[in-house]
A and B are shown apart, each in its own frame.
Chain A
């Protein structure tokens, strides 16, 4: 069973809550995904608005664990302050730490990320850093106290899947015992299955479900893909080879010799 900061989870699919056409569709998608963790955020809200309160009420009603993020933060200071605010509002020390370094790709600022992770881990947060597949950055994050990593598959919302298979496989091989969750960039369920086949422990999906023609059906499809990918990993996939190898035994083949 997957364990994230000592919390056992049956589902290896984490779901984002943004971009759904309506709260009802979000609710249906979360249920169809059978996920146990959803990501949430904090945003400015005026006193007269109650959109955030309504949203929070819906999420609490779903009975899932929340993983607040620091999305939109471009500096260590912003990310750390947002984490403090999220801990109070959501009542959890879990934080998906994002420090964005570049707006076109939403690539993490890995230097700021490591610095913010060190601060937050020292303060007792359980940090899930949104990072790249860079091994040295991963080492720094683990040294800072992170006990799970969230490497990107591709830029957020791009739907491109696993851009750097070699780099991601190397990350998996280098840290065999660290929970690794592919976060960002997945577009279709086969991307999620591939991530689990490669040995990643879980995936976080948002846009691919929320922007699908039928989000609840896509959420269910991702759930099946994650289960299939994990089962395949356990079953021991064969190694690819360059040339054909007959699957039908050649001994006793007719008309030979």
Chain B
């Protein structure tokens, strides 16, 4: 299915958010996730089902002012 991942469309086989992160190589990286503008806690990623057209954001720590 196609999802909008960090602002770019891509195909994924991952049915759940956790599987998508694994597929994209995040491994044990410290990141935060949101689907369709709603925060998804790390503990909820395995039970968060993705659907065609979902907007997924994966954010990492970064420099800020």
Contacts and interface: CB of A to CB of B under 8 A. Distances in A.
Interface residues of B, number: 27
Interface of B: 6-7, 21, 24-27, 29-34, 37-39, 41-42, 57-65
Interface stretch (A1-9, A82-90, A195-203, A242-250): A82-90
A81 B61 CA distance: 15
Contact of B64 (A18, A44, A78, A84): A18
Interface of A: 16-20, 26, 39-53, 55-56, 59, 68-69, 71, 77-78, 81-82, 84-86, 88-90, 156-157, 184, 204, 206-207
Contacts of B31: 45, 52, 89
Nearest to B43: A88
30 contacts: A16-B63, A16-B64, A17-B63, A19-B63, A20-B63, A26-B63, A42-B32, A42-B59, A42-B61, A43-B59, A44-B7, A44-B59, A45-B58, A45-B60, A45-B62, A47-B26, A47-B29, A51-B60, A53-B30, A53-B60, A56-B60, A69-B64, A69-B65, A71-B65, A82-B59, A85-B32, A85-B39, A86-B32, A89-B59, A89-B61
Contacts of A49: 60
Contacts of A85: 32-34, 39, 59
A17 B64 CA distance: 5
A98 B29 CA distance: 26
Contacts of B65: 16-19, 39, 41, 69, 71, 156-157, 184, 204, 206-207
Given A47-B25, A50-B29, A88-B41, A81 B34 contact: yes
